[in-house]
Amino acid sequence: MIIKTLVENISEKPELGAEHGLCLYIETKRHKILFDTGASKIFAENALKMGVDLAAVDIVILSHGHYDHGGGIRTFLTLNQTAKIYMQQNAFQNHFSHSIFSQQKYIGLDQGLLPNSRFVFVENGLIIDEELELFSKIAGNRFSPSGNQDLYMEMNGELQQDDFSHEQDLIISENGKTLLVVGCAHRGIVNIVDQFKQERKKMPDVVIGGFHLYNGAAKRDEAPAIVDGIGQALAETKVQYFTGHCTGMKSYEQLKVILGDKLGYISTGSQISL
C-alpha cells in the first residue's frame, strides 16, 4: 500500500502547492482511493506533478462536510467520470465557524454540487468490500478538541453546536495490516482509536490524518495539557501515527516529543509505503 499526500498545509517541495486542507491518494492491490479533496484544485495540480492519475481513481471517501476536505470535489468530478464519492448522510448540512475572535463563516460544502448520482450517502458505518470499511458515530469524550466549540451545524434553520455526525473514518485492510485514515478527527483521535479497539478487540497498525488541535476560527493552538493527555494516551498504543493539517505545528511538536518515532508528519508530496 502506498499513501501519497496530494495536499496538506505545508509543502517541502517548491513545485507543489500547499493550502489549509487535506487530500491523500492511497493505492492498494484492489483500489486507487482518494481520501478527501483539499480546499481547492491544488490537489489536482499536485497529482499531475506527482504522477498520480486522478482519472483512474475508483473510489473517493469524504471524511466530513468541511470545505478544506471537500473543496476539490467539483474539480475531481470533471477529471474523473466513474468514481463514487462516499460521505455521511449529513455531509451537506450547512456548517459554520464562529468565535469571539472572528465573524461567522460558512465552512460547509458547495451546495451547488447537489444533487449528484455519484454521491453515496452513508448512515453510520459501512463495509464496502474486503479491503475498505467506513467507521463513524464515534462516542467517548476523552481529550476531545476544544476547537470544536467554535464549530456549528444548521438544524431546522437554527445553528447548533456541531455534533460531527457528518464525520467518518476509513479502515483499509491489506496483507494483514490495518490502516485507519481520519480527516480532522473532530470527535477526538483518542476516542476514535478507543472505539476502534473496543469494537474490533485490536488496534490498527497505522493511523493517518489531522487531529484538529489547531482552532482556525480563533487562531489558537490546543491547550498544552490536552495535547499532553493525547500524547500520553497514544503512547500507550502500539500504533504508528502520521499527522498534519489541522493538528497545527505547535501541537505536532509537543506530540513529537512524547511519541518520538511513533509519530511522523505528512506534508504535501510525502509518501508512505506499508
C-beta of 82 vs 161, nearer to Fe ion: 161
Amino acid present at 38: G
Count the site residues for Fe ion by CB under 5 A. 4
Amino acid present at 53: D
* Choices 66-74, 139-147, 191-199, 233-241; region in contact with Fe ion by CB under 5 A: 66-74
Task: Quote the CA–CA distance of 253 and 258 in Å, as a whole number.
Answer: 9
Helix axes 224-235, 189-200, angle to 10 degrees: 30
> Are 185 and 164 spatial neighbours (Cβ–Cβ below 8 Å)?
no
C-beta of 25 vs 214, nearer to Fe ion: 214
Contacts of 182 (CB under 8 A, 6+ apart): 63, 169, 189, 192, 207, 208, 209, 210, 211
- Letters for 171-200 (x = contact with Fe ion by CB under 5 A, - = none) are -------------x----------------
- The minimum distance between CB 30 and Fe ion, in angstroms, equals 27
Q: Which of residues 108-167 bind Fe ion (CB under 5 A)?
A: none
- Letters for 46-65 (x = contact with Fe ion by CB under 5 A, - = none) are --------------------
Contacts of 225 (CB under 8 A, 6+ apart): none
Q: Which of residues 231-250 bind Fe ion (CB under 5 A)?
A: 246
| Residues at the site binding Fe ion, with contacts judged by CB under 5 A | 66, 68, 184, 246
